[in-house]
Structure 1
Amino acid sequence: MNAIKEARRYIERRPPEDPAARTLAALVLALETDRGFDLSSLYDLDYKSFDLAIEVLRDWRLDRYYAGKAKLFDLSMQVHQSPETPATSVDATSSS
């Protein structure tokens, strides 16, 4: 099971006031909104929760990479399918 799903289940199964669940939720919110996160709060977690938080970071980074790759692919397809001049012609004319 990937860490993001595991973190969701972890947070769902804990009461809202649980410090570890709150820390993991804050980490996810920070990652999604590109806001700051106090890394020292991770050290307050037990080892299993800390390890889960690190795995969430790894999965999130990997997912972001793949999302960026998908956007690049989509843009490349749009350019390739455009009725404009082919990319090889554009390269030849832009170098002069």
Structure 2
Amino acid sequence: MRAIKAARILIEKNPGSVSAQTLSGLVLALASEADFPVSDLYKLDYDHFNLALKVLEEWRLDRYYAGKARLFDVSVQTTELGPQPK
């Protein structure tokens, strides 16, 4: 599975999680060519950190991949929701 799709699924399943919020922030920064604090990536667990790196790689290699639009939409919605209490 492509990292972009895996990130979208992770964000959709648990939009209030720290990982979903961080990945959403990364996607929004990539889409808008804005700054993103790299230190936020280090707060992710190992698997989600690697997923973020793969998203970066795919974003760079495949800038016009249609799946990015869906991931972007989910990321906007997640960011608007903010962190959810457990």
TM (norm. structure 1) is 0.64
Task: In structure 2, give the amino acid aligned to 1:47.
Answer: Y
Task: In structure 1, give the amino acid aligned to 2:48.
Answer: S
Shift of 1:17: 2.4
* 1:8 and 2:8 aligned: yes
Shift of 1:58: 0.3
* 1:52 and 2:32 aligned: no
Q: Percent identity?
A: 53
Where relative contact order (Cα < 8 A, 6+ residues apart) is larger, the structure is 2
CA distance in 2 between counterparts of 1:57 and 1:63 reads: 10
SS at match of 1:37: coil
CA distance in 2 between counterparts of 1:17 and 1:55 reads: 22
More helix per residue: 1
Count of equivalent residues: 64
- Quote the residue 1:41 is aligned against: 40
CA distance in 1 between counterparts of 2:37 and 2:56 reads: 14
Task: In structure 1, give the amino acid aligned to 2:26.
Answer: L
CA distance in 2 between counterparts of 1:34 and 1:63 reads: 15
Gaps of 5+ in 1: 68-96
TM (norm. structure 2) is 0.71
Residues 15-73 of structure 1: CA deviation (Å, up to 9, x unaligned) = x3211100000000000010010000000000000000000000000012xx4xxxxxx
- Quote the residue 2:22 is aligned against: 23
Gaps of 5+ in 2: 65-86
